[in-house]
Structure 1
Amino acid sequence: MSPSTIWLIVMVVLVLGELATVGLTFIWFAVGALGGAITAWMGGAIWVQVIVFLALSGLALALVRPLAARYLDTKNVATNADRVIGKTAIVIQDIDNIEGKGQVNISGQIWSARSQQAVVIPAGTEVKVLRIEGVKVFVETL
């Protein structure tokens, strides 16, 4: 088997690895393998092929990855839970941290609630959601 064929096989395996992970992990090395294949096809010695492979892989990683990451950036999308932070809620069950009880209605969703200031908040009070810990929201009166 010729060296250029080996490089092409390596490139195909790396591309398949990239397709399986979709994490911009293997594609840079596939570019290097293509360079190694071209170098082998042109009759370059094995050490030249390896140097071309390493150089092209490094260049692709250093130069193209930041651009690709910027355009393919998967920004963190807030989960439904994260979206309640900062919202106004209505207390539907008195919030009492000492007794460990309290519930609020946030946009039609019922959440267990605790007071941020450790004060009792009566039912019917409007509150603001400050943070989430586990399945509980921590709130303060408006």
Structure 2
Amino acid sequence: MDNEQMILFWIVAIVLFSIIEGITLGLATIWFAAGAFIAVLAAILNFSIPVQIGLFIVVSLALLAFTRPIVVKHLRVGRHKTNLDVIIDSMGIVTKDIEPFKVGQVKVNGQIWTATTEDKNTITKDTKVKVIRIEGVKLIVKTLEEE
């Protein structure tokens, strides 16, 4: 293959990787499209085919390894935040005693929730609590430590 054919090859690779990324939205093949872009520049500058392939591999893998985690973190790909997430770490007031192996009630942000504790201790009415997590439709809470 000569460099003109390699230019065409790399352009086709860019288009294919971009189409696959557009279909899957997994942030996996876009890095290979970037690697193919660098390889097409190398082909235009008349670098040898092994150098073009080497640049494609090195750039693609480097981008995949170093930039994908950052982009995924900022775009939060695959994670859907819900309104329930704002309740976690919120403070509430016990409105019905929480007893071992029984649910009580807690008022958080103006809403009444069923609640229990991790350690199965009794928490009495009017005690301030903090929401640790949500399991189904039940809050898991702990008492706020007095300072």
Bucket of the pairwise TM-score, normalised by the shorter protein: 0.5 to 0.7
1:114 equivalent in structure 2:
116
Residue 82 of structure 1 and its aligned partner are, at CA, apart by: 3.8
Q: Name the SS of the counterpart of 2:98 in structure 1.
A: strand
Distance change >3 Å, CA 9–CA 129, structure 1 → 2: same
Deviations 1:86-132 (A, max 9, x none): 4332322222124x13111111222212245612513xx13221412
Deviations 1:45-94 (A, max 9, x none): 4323312322333454567x28x937x72478975434334433232222
2:116 aligned partner, one-letter code? R
The residue correspondences of 1:1-142 to structure 2 (distance < 5 A) are 2-41=5-44, 43-58=46-61, 60-61=63-64, 65=67, 69=70, 73-74=74-75, 79-98=82-101, 100-115=102-117, 118-122=121-125, 125-134=126-135, 135-140=138-143
Count how many residue pairs are aligned between Structure 1 and Structure 2.
136
Contact 1:111–1:137 under 8 Å retained in 2: no
Distance change >3 Å, CA 10–CA 121, structure 1 → 2: same
TM-score (norm 1): 0.67
Identical counterparts, % of pairs: 26
Q: Which runs of 5+ in 1 are unaligned?
A: none
Contact 2:94–2:129 under 8 Å retained in 1: no
Contact 2:103–2:114 under 8 Å retained in 1: yes
